[in-house]
Structure 1
Amino acid sequence: MAPIVKIAVIQLYPKPMQPEHNFNKAASYIRSAASQGAELAVLPEYHLTSWVPKDSRFADFGEQWQVYLNKYQELAKECGICIVPGTIVESHKDEEREEDRLINVAYFIDMEGVVVGKYVKKNLWGPEREHLTGSGRDVHEVFDTPIGKVGMLVCWDLAFPEAFRELIAQGAKMIIIPTFWTLKDCNPAGLALNPSSEALFLDSMCTARAFENTCAIVFANAGGPPGEGYAGLSQVTVPFVGALTRLGSCAEGMSVVDVDMQILEDAEENYQIRADLERDDWHYDYRHSAKEKL
């Protein structure tokens, strides 16, 4: 039988450009998760800074990324828990253009404090493209972790099934998605039809991606006070069942849930998604198969 993995999904309200305050709050939740036996804690995207790219301090924070990565590595070792610390915005020198560039990075830190996975956000949401550089045509990677083979995506990547296919073709059973997604990320035409359009999008996509890839989805989004447009809805979702746990749209909080990984094996036995991807005659040949196409 496949193992049961205890996961903590943490939904935070990040105070803009108060990284130390936001880190301390996140650390408190992570310590609580560890005390409840969680093996993995996942935080939202931009949880240290919020999304305030026009604040000059946002770009300046990119110089501090190593400080906070080290803090999370120390925390993981202290608590004996794996951590995906949402995303950390990093500033790096682009030698070709002779200028700094900002990238949005998710890390997987194991319980010994070792970084075993790193993912740079590929699919940037429209407003991000003015400020960030994506990972372009870099291949999505799967990481061997203490809880199994894991893939990581970030926020708007959720809209691209190709990313998921690339990960599960390499054996990922769990895909972790730190997110900063609000109800205001919908245009006026969509909001006029459905003010909760983005909530429908998120719930639908998490469920669909779990079913169509026979994988577990760990989705950690930002939450916040009512009326400020936060979508929340952080959840852990699996095939057959849907959301094993799901936080509300506004509140901060944490949920610790047992994920029976046997569900994924049973779903694959039924749907045969991975088996089809492994076939030599698989008819979708654009980077969906782990095998090299001849």
Structure 2
Amino acid sequence: MRDIVAGCCQFSIKPGEVQRNCETAEGMLLELAAGKCRLAVLPEMWSCSFPYPVLREMAEKTPAILDRMCKIALDKRLVIVGSLPEAAGKTIFNTGYLIDSTGRIAGKYRKVHLFSLYNEQRHFGYGTSAQVFSTSIGKIGMMICYDLRFPELARKMALDGAEIICVSALWPLVRIEHWSLLLRARAIENQLFVVGCNGCGAEEKITWGGASAIISPLGTVLAQAGQDEQSIVRALNPFEMSDFRKTIPCFEDRVPEVYNPYNADICGGDDIASRPEGDDIPL
């Protein structure tokens, strides 16, 4: 299996300026594609940021944006991930879209954990599921910003076969150390690749922190951006994940019935009573 070249498009999203943001994103995507990139991740709400008074108007522009992204994905043989506002009846969702290199939408993920500190729950509907999607480059899961603080979500995706988790975010500079640490933590504990793309630049009351990063299953920072607009790229070696899981078989050694006995049959794992303990543990 060949290495997969992955990249992040970190840029300053201008609130409500859909055309300008789309032009910026498209330029960065084409630049990555020219460098043989196969996976490109965009920030959270990359078309418009969070202009709540006109959020529905922004969401109504999303279908046309997706059509354009699908054409780019097909033309450049690129897998594209990023979050956009989605209108579904009376509800607006913060939705991550996964566009395969075939030019089709391979999956979507509605943000499950809405950030109450910023009152996101007043403007968005809650997502209710998280899936892993098969693509031309492997199995991918999606998370959006605040989701990163909830290890259960990443673990579910890992158990469902995710090889890469893509995180789209608008994470503030004031807590950027948490962002960097959590990206590494999610990669290490699940022994998979994490590609996290954050926005950058300042809005009226907040500065976004940048620091987009590509993390290996061992927690190694393969590439990391600064605080300015830039793309980062790095090749992912699929064998690094499988080899590390053989060396330290965390998934085989799990005891899920201890963590959550009510969901042991869902999480998998052997009956704890059948496991050796004390002097019976083989050396």
Unaligned runs of 5+ in 1: 94-99, 184-195
Correspondences of 1:1-294 after superposition (within 5 Å): 2-53=1-52, 56-84=53-81, 86-93=82-89, 100-126=90-116, 127-136=119-128, 138=129, 140-183=130-173, 196=174, 198-224=175-201, 229-248=207-226, 250-277=227-254, 282-285=257-260, 291=268
Shift of 1:130: 0.9
Q: Structure 1 residues 257, 105: closer, same or farther in 2, change over 3 A?
A: same
Shift of 1:153: 0.9
Q: CA RMSD in A?
A: 2.2
Contact 2:257 2:263 in 1 (8 A): no
Q: Structure 1 residues 209, 241: closer, same or farther in 2, change over 3 A?
A: closer
Residue 208 of structure 1: SS of its match in structure 2? helix
Q: Structure 1 residues 293, 156: closer, same or farther in 2, change over 3 A?
A: farther
Q: Map Cα deviations across residues 179-207 of structure 1 (whole Å, 9 max, x no partner).
A: 01113xxxxxxxxxxxx5x1211111111
Residue 80 of structure 2: SS of its match in structure 1? strand
Give the distance between the partners of 2:163 and 2:213, measured in 1 at CA: 16
Give the distance between the partners of 2:202 and 2:92, measured in 1 at CA: 29
Paired residue total: 266
Give the distance between the partners of 2:253 and 2:124, measured in 1 at CA: 36
Give the distance between the partners of 2:206 and 2:62, measured in 1 at CA: 28
Q: Structure 1 residues 65, 15: closer, same or farther in 2, change over 3 A?
A: same
Shift of 1:287: 5.5
**Structure 1 consecutive aligned stretches of length 4 or more whose deviation exceeds 3 Å:** 225-228, 285-294
Moved more, 252-261 or 58-67: 58-67
Query: What TM-score do the two structures reach when normalised by structure 2?
Result: 0.87
Letter in 1 for 2:104: V
Give the distance between the partners of 2:10 and 2:107, measured in 1 at CA: 22
Letter in 2 for 1:263: E
Contact 1:175 1:217 in 2 (8 A): yes
Contact 1:225 1:251 in 2 (8 A): no
Give the distance between the partners of 2:58 and 2:176, measured in 1 at CA: 30
Specify the alignment match of 2:281 in structure 1. none
Contact 1:11 1:234 in 2 (8 A): yes
Residue 273 of structure 1: SS of its match in structure 2? coil
Larger gyration radius, structure 1 or structure 2: 2
Query: What TM-score do the two structures reach when normalised by structure 1?
Result: 0.84
Shift of 1:225: 5.3
Residue 23 of structure 1: SS of its match in structure 2? helix
Letter in 2 for 1:246: Q
Give the distance between the partners of 2:239 and 2:270, measured in 1 at CA: 31
Q: Map Cα deviations across residues 227-248 of structure 1 (whole Å, 9 max, x no partner).
A: 9522111000113352100001
> Percent of aligned pairs with the same residue?
27
Residue 71 of structure 1: SS of its match in structure 2? helix
Moved more, 226-235 or 22-31: 226-235
Q: Structure 1 residues 66, 292: closer, same or farther in 2, change over 3 A?
A: farther
Letter in 2 for 1:234: S
Shift of 1:272: 1.4
Unaligned runs of 5+ in 2: 272-283
